[in-house]
Amino acid sequence: MDLLQKLNEEQYNAVTYSDGPLLILAGAGSGKTRVITYRIAHLIKVAGIPPYAIVAVTFTNKAAEEMRNRIKGLIGPIGESVMIKTFHALAVYILRRHGDAIGIAPNFTIYDSRDQESLIKDILHDIHIDPKAVKPSMIAEKISSIKESSHYIQGGDITLLLPKYHSFNFQEIFTSYQQKLKQSNALDFSDLLIYTVQLLRNSQVLTTLQSRWRYFMVDEYQDTNFAQYLIAKYLASQTKNICVVGDDDQSIYSWRGADIRNILNFEKDYPDAKVITLHKNYRSTAPILQAASYVIKNNYRRKDKKLTSHRGDGEPITVCTANNEYGEAEYVINTIVSLKHTEQYSNRDFAIFYRTNAQSRIFEEHCRRENLPYIVVGSVKFYERKEIKDILAYMRFMANPDDTVSLLRIINTPSRGIGASTIEKLRDAAYLHTTSEWDIIANNQNYSYKLSPALHSFKELMQKLIDKVKDIPSHYRLSEICISILTDTQYKSTLESENSIEARGRLENIDAFVNSIVEYEHLHPEATLFEFLQDISLLSPADETNATAPEGNNAITLMTVHNAKGLEFPVVFLTGMEEGLFPHANAIDSDEGIEEERRLCYVGITRAKDRLVITSAELRRSWGTTQFKEASRFISELPPALCQFQHYSSSYNNWDMPKTNNNNYNYRANNSQTATALHNNDSHYTVNQRVKHPSFGVGKITAIQGKGDNVKLTIQFLNGFTKTFLEKYTPLEPLS
């Protein structure tokens, strides 16, 4: 096959290896898709394998379609007969044809997430739980997590998996949910995989499928969960002609059920397996690739591999520490403007990566100020996010109680028992008396309108908040108004109680919003709520003209590192590289968590083709307070010889930094500590040393005071708290 001449030696060996188990470790940028498609083409054209005997499984419909088109381009229309599907699509194919063997009718309905939530609402109604008091999406998320666990699939006791923190009977909901699915002849996405596993345990069905399908290929094998692992294992159990392609260094989806052990243990599952590693990287320059290798080699759970760059030398890695997060964004945008001018890059050549969606806000604002078009991938723009619109609606209503649109948005957000019928009656009364809905509520006695208890409580709540606005700026700051909204309305506590991935993301976004208000206060200390809302409206995407651009246009790309997997850009900015942010605070206390965060960092680095810029901030606001941030451990793992280190101080260097959460400790005071305080001979510790407290977790010693038994340690923890302890009575674990 002439096309094989375009392959390097490792790719050639992987493509031409036909029978027996094969593990292809495809390093970043090593031509994974090319190897998969060429291998399928070679099996058909050279090895003489019928196309219908080959199954290729991947994770997205887009990847499946790309694979199909490439194969057709290599061998023509015959490539159409190859079964190329996602895991879920393959499961549907099998269940439609053979599901009756386990009691599943072929005409089953597939329930998506919205269908799941509707079903859960019905169940909550049946057991007399207000669906507005319990978020159906949270319950659906937990149900899926239970069903996709190895414990559940293997028939373990479900009670061991049920959450213990709910006031209601979760098992009752789970049982009823499964019963109603069955009554409706419906399967959710988890069921598609689980029932396929169950079906493949039927020897007759398995034999039927194995008689047709003889060769199996699984893409992104490091991302498979337990059910997907079993499906592949069962289908290939007869011929052992299974080829899996993946990179253990890019396993970053454990929170979605992916199990890195599937790829790490492949040789245990198949002792006679052939392992081929694709070492040559065609994407990145040598410094970028070497930097990635230096970082990822610190992981223990991985297969050793050394990538080499096909492109050769390039620019060194830029590592910039900014004075604060505003300076970080300013530096990134200034660098983009400079590179566009000096090296003729286009906007589409730049990507800004961050660990959490909440971090996009400040980069969006800087893009708008510089009139740079941008797109936000995988998330709505900051001011379009539900939680931000909710809080802004409260603020707009407080500024203008006649704002009916804002009132109707917040009247039952969060849920407070004000139903649709109550709202409809309220609107009718306002229409009848040609006044606003709030006027009816606030002055109900004037209209002979009886308020329900819930509506009466809402009236008192909002009157309290409205009264605070009148005192701005004399008594209340804008940030205090925002925090009052979050606490008095129980908006924040409601999200915290959900304890879901979605809720945590919303809390991070609210945190970013509070921080933006604090920044605004420093710039405009006398600003009123009306002025703030006016300025926000000018920044809001709803009022933008050409500040943003749709995907595919010449625009800067903003995205989380998770969303960047599989993509590449000439210039990448990896931002927010600080302890507690990247690596994330949720992962920092476990080896497994740190290793996945390091793999995520590796993914971010290896997206860059020409230039990589890594940034961090010395100070970052969290919930309106300023915190000292320690540079990410991943920065210290970079080879210094390949890096150019910079420090950037923005025009916002002279912020009057607010005090941290506890003990009236001010970061500026830390900078002015005496030499004696910094190097206290009576202490076993030193300033800037990282320690771990049994209750508060990981932190950094920022001050040491006192002598003898009275030595006090001031520690700033990654959770935002600053505490002072007597060293003698405080059990600390030194970390550095």
The set of catalytic residues is 32-33, 219-220, 250, 607
Q: In what order do the strands lie in the sheet containing 54-58?
A: 83-86, 54-58, 215-218, 242-246, 22-26, 274-278
Residue corresponding to tokens 């190897």: 35
CA distance 87 to 262: 15
First-to-final CA distance of the chain: 57
Q: 658 preceded by cis ω (within 30°)?
A: no
SS (H, E, C) 409-446: HHCCCCCCCCCHHHHHHHHHHHHHCCCCHHHHHHCHHH
**Run of H or E including 686:** none
Amino acid in the structure at residue 288:
I
Please check whether residue 295 is in contact with residue 262, taking contact to mean a CB–CB distance below 8 angstroms: no
CA distance 429 to 440: 7
Tell me the residue length of the chain. 736
CA distance 165 to 153: 24
Residue 474: which residues within 8 A CB-CB, separation 6 or more?
none
DSSP one-letter string for 657-685: PPP-SSTT--HHHHHT--HHHHT-TT-S-
CA distance 56 to 41: 12
3-class SS at 351? strand
DSSP one-letter string for 582-594: TTBGGGTTSHHHH
Q: Count CB neighbours of 519 within 10 A.
A: 20
Q: What are the residues facing 584 on neighbouring strands?
A: 580, 581
CA distance 623 to 507: 10
Please check whether residue 501 is in contact with residue 141, taking contact to mean a CB–CB distance below 8 angstroms: yes
Helix pair angle (501-523, 491-498), 10° resolution: 150
For strands 733-734 and 690-693, give the pairing. antiparallel
CA distance 395 to 401: 10
Please check whether residue 211 is in contact with residue 181, taking contact to mean a CB–CB distance below 8 angstroms: no
Closest alpha carbon to 311 in 349, 292, 284: 284
CA distance 445 to 720: 47
CA distance 23 to 305: 14
CA distance 590 to 400: 49
DSSP state of 134: S
3-class SS at 314? coil
DSSP state of 304: -
Residue corresponding to tokens 């692992």: 229
Residue corresponding to tokens 């399967």: 187
Cα 4–chain centre separation: 39
Q: What are the residues facing 407 on neighbouring strands?
A: none
DSSP one-letter string for 206-229: HHHHHHH--EEEESSGGG--HHHH
Q: What are the residues facing 573 on neighbouring strands?
A: 352, 613
CA distance 310 to 226: 36
Closest alpha carbon to 630 in 578, 577, 696: 578
Helix pair angle (591-605, 286-296), 10° resolution: 180
Residue corresponding to tokens 């997997």: 565
